[in-house]
Structures are given as structure tokens and as C-alpha cells.
Chain A
Amino acid sequence: GESVGLHLPTLSVQEGDNSIINCAYSNSASDYFIWYKQESGKGPQFIIDIRSNMDKRQGQRVTVLLNKTVKHLSLQIAATQPGDSAVYFCAESGGSYIPTFGRGTSLIVHP
């Protein structure tokens, strides 16, 4: 069925490097995408979102890229810091704006 998934379950980077977390989605009807950060024992925290009429959106140290042709979403974190260590989820939604979560990628930042 339709689903949202992630390519890499774990990503290890050095402090200061840039991180790229990828996500594939298969529901072509999705028109709103969100990245969340979840620290251990806490609820997801909104990072950045993008609508399907855009292919790039930038925030503070984060950039989301959307490639609708191949149904691919990525989150880029610049100058990754130890505090960025967490599990990152991409989520998609359609007209109902109810986030449907993908598998998650664990980002580990080594000092």
C-alpha cells in the first residue's frame, strides 16, 4: 500500500559536518511533507515543512528538498552539532493534514 519510508536507519556524522537524511514516499496524492525530530523519551518536535508546490525550503541550519518526480524528500542539516543527535522522521499528509510517519533515521553526532 501507500507508505512513507526512509533509506537509512542510522546515520553517524562528525560534529561540524553536514548531514543528509533521506525519505522516499509512494503516495502521489501527498501534498504536504514535514520533518520531525524526536529525542529519546520525548514527543516529536516540528523542524520544517514543505508543500508540494515547492522543491526547496530553508530554515535555520536546515533545508528540505522535495523531488516529486522520484517521490523523494531530504533533510539537510548544516554544521551538525551533538544536540542534533536524535531520531528524525519524515511525515506526509494529504488534504486532511494528518501526519503519517515514516520509519525514522537515527542521527548520531560524534564530538
Chain B
Amino acid sequence: GAVVSQHPSRVICKSGTSVKIECRSLDFQATTMFWYRQFPKKSLMLMATSNEGSKATYEQGVEKDKFLINHASLTLSTLTVTSAHPEDSSFYICSARDETGGRTEAFFGQGTRLTVV
């Protein structure tokens, strides 16, 4: 299957600082990428849909000013957690959809464990 790379895999930051997480599709172009958040022993919750060249679409209850999403190219989307606080600590996972030849499969990155201290 297609490869989606997420970086960093782990990050620890101080409260009040900002953290950027990158999501790259390595062997395909993705006009659409997705960002999920996962709490321990819980399911993945969709935060936002990242659209190349346009604004992201955020799910209800997700603060767009806190979770900044940029999708500047067909292979890269970034999620910036601004002014992070301990409650933002979580596992963040990106996904990209390979639409080559009409396919609809979504492939996931390896996730980023964010710890805010």
C-alpha cells in the first residue's frame, strides 16, 4: 500500500509553546489529508480535513485557531498545536487518501505522541 510518513513520532514541549507535526505522502499525491486525535484506549476522532491549496475543514468542537492546518503541496500537510497545554497531550494521527485511478483507500501515518509538560 501507499506510504504516509509522519514526523516527529514523539515530542515533548513546555506549556505555552507551539508544536508542528508534518504528514507526508511519500509515493502518491494527496489532495486531501485528514488529522485525527486519539486518547488512550479510545477510538480515533476526526479533527479536520486538510485540502491542498484551500482552507481546512474542521469538525465541530475543534478550535481552528488552536490547531492550525496547512496543506501547501500535494504531498505535505502540517498540523500546528499553538500555545499547547497539558490537555492537548494526545496521539495525533494523519491520513492521506490515494485517489489514483479512482481509489478511495485512506492510509495512515505512524502517529505523533505529544506530551505537554
Contacts and interface: CB of A to CB of B under 8 A. Distances in A.
B1 A46 contact: yes
Given A97-B97, A100-B46, A103-B43, A44 B108 contact: yes
Nearest to B97: A97
Interface SS majority for chain B = strand
A89 B42 CA distance: 10
Contacts of B110: 42-43
A32 B104 contact: yes
How many chain A residues sit at the interface, stated as a range, is 10 to 19
Contacts of A100: 46
B106 A97 contact: yes
A42 B104 contact: no
A100 B95 CA distance: 12
A41 interface: yes
A36 to B, nearest CB: 8
Contacts of B95: 43, 99
A93 B17 CA distance: 35
A45 B46 CA distance: 16
A49 interface: yes
Sorted from nearest, which 5 A-B pairs have the closest CB atoms?
A43-B108, A97-B104, A101-B44, A101-B43, A43-B111
Given A34-B105, A43-B108, A46-B108, 14 more contacts: A42-B111, A43-B93, A43-B109, A44-B93, A46-B1, A46-B105, A97-B104, A98-B46, A98-B49, A98-B106, A99-B34, A101-B43, A102-B43, A104-B42
